[in-house]
Amino acid sequence: MKKLLFVLLCFPYTIVAQYPGWTLYTTANSGIGSDTTLAIFVDDEGDLWFGTVNGAAKFDGNSWITYNHSNSPFTNYIWIQSIEQIADTMYFAYGQGVYKHYNNVWELIPINLAKVLKKDGLNNLWIGTDGFGLVKILWE
C-alpha cells in the first residue's frame, strides 16, 4: 500500500493517463487558472467551480470561465480556498477576506484569514478563519 501511495504522489500524470474514463485538466488543455486546485464546489445549476492559486474557474461541462485579475478583483496568485453559494450569490474565501459576487458586481467582506465557507439550513453564511474565530453572517 505504501508503494502505491508513493507512486501516486510521485507520478500523478502517468497514473491518470493509464485509466480509461479519467481526464486530467490542466492550464494547457482547459480554462482552469492554475494547476493547483484548493477548492471544488457544485452550484445550484450543476456547474463546477474551482478555487485555485490564481483565482477561480467555472466549468459547465463544455466551457470554462476563469475569474482572475483581468475580469474580477482577484489579484495574481490569490488563493481561493473555499466557495459557497446562497441563492444567486457566490462567495469566495481567500486569506484577506471573502469576495461576494452577484449580478456581475463584486464586494469584499473583509475578514482576516478566511479559510472555509459553509451555509446552514437558514442560508446563513459561516466563515471559518485561521486564528481569528468563526463568523456568522445572517441571511437577509
**Residue pLDDT, tens place only, 82-134:** 999 999 999 999 988 999 999 999 999 999 899 999 999 999 999 999 999 99
4 pLDDT tier (thresholds 50, 70, 90): very low
Q: Whose CA is closest to 139, among 70, 79, 92, 91? A: 91
More confident position, 74 or 44: 44
Residue 38 has a pLDDT of 94
Q: pLDDT > 70: what percent of the chain?
A: 86
Domains in the chain, start-ordered, CATH in brackets?
A: 2-137 (2.130.10.10)
C-alpha to C-alpha distance for 34 and 81, rounded to whole angstroms: 13
Note the pTM of the prediction, 2 decimals. Answer: 0.83
| Range list of H helices, the chain | 2-10, 12-17
